[in-house]
Amino acid sequence: MIKHEIGEGTLIEGIGLEGDAHAGFMHRQVSLISMEDIRTMMAKLPNLVPGSFAENLTTEGFDLGQLKIGDRLKVGETLLEVSQIGKECHSHCEVFKQTGECIMPKKGIFTKVIKGGKVRSGDTIEFA
């Protein structure tokens, strides 16, 4: 399911993004993917947009590939903890069907919300 830019949202401790269909889903409460990785896939499938991978937060200028499970990130008012790296694509998403690959199994990052609060477009992301 493609998600659309909302500009600002509330992350709820132990739950995820307020109003998100996947909120409360075990340890995969908030998903992140980098704009750089989305652009790589856009070169193969130009109609992709941020949100095409159903990510909650799209980052830019922060190397998500350096993260390990247990790392903590400060994003806006919130504190997130990396809980999973990658997500198996069981039924092969539309991106995979059209390009023969998907970045989620290697590039998608999932986190738990340790401290809730507001997140906004343009917020910095840093190690906590």
Computed over every residue of the chain, the mean pLDDT equals 89
Going by C-alpha positions, the residue among 16, 8, 18, 34 that lies closest to residue 80 is: 16
**34 vs 50: CA distance, rounded Å:** 9
Please compute the mean of the pLDDT values over residues 6-23 and round it to a whole number.
Answer: 94
The predicted model scores a pTM of 0.88
Q: What pLDDT, on the 0 to 100 scale, is given for residue 106?
A: 81
Residue 101 pLDDT greater than 80, yes or no:
no
Q: Show the DSSP H helices in the chain as ranges.
A: 35-42, 94-99, 104-107
Domain residue limits, the chain: 8-127
User: What's the CA gap between 1 and 101, in Å, rounded?
Assistant: 17
Asked whether residue 90 carries a pLDDT value surpassing 70, the answer given is: no
The yes-or-no verdict on residue 85 having pLDDT over 70 is yes
Place of tokens 């399911």: 1
List the CATH code of the domain at 8-127: 2.40.33.20
* pLDDT confidence of residue 61: 95
* 28, 84 contact by CB (below 8 A): yes
Label residue 42 exposed, middle or buried (CB < 10 Å: 0-12, 13-18, 19+): middle
Q: What is the pLDDT of residues 34-80, one digit of tens each?
A: 999 999 888 888 888 888 888 999 999 999 999 999 999 999 999 99
Where does the pLDDT of residue 15 fall: very low under 50, low under 70, confident under 90, or very high at 90 and above?
A: very high
Residue 95 has pLDDT above 90, yes or no: no
What pLDDT, on the 0 to 100 scale, is given for residue 47? Answer: 85
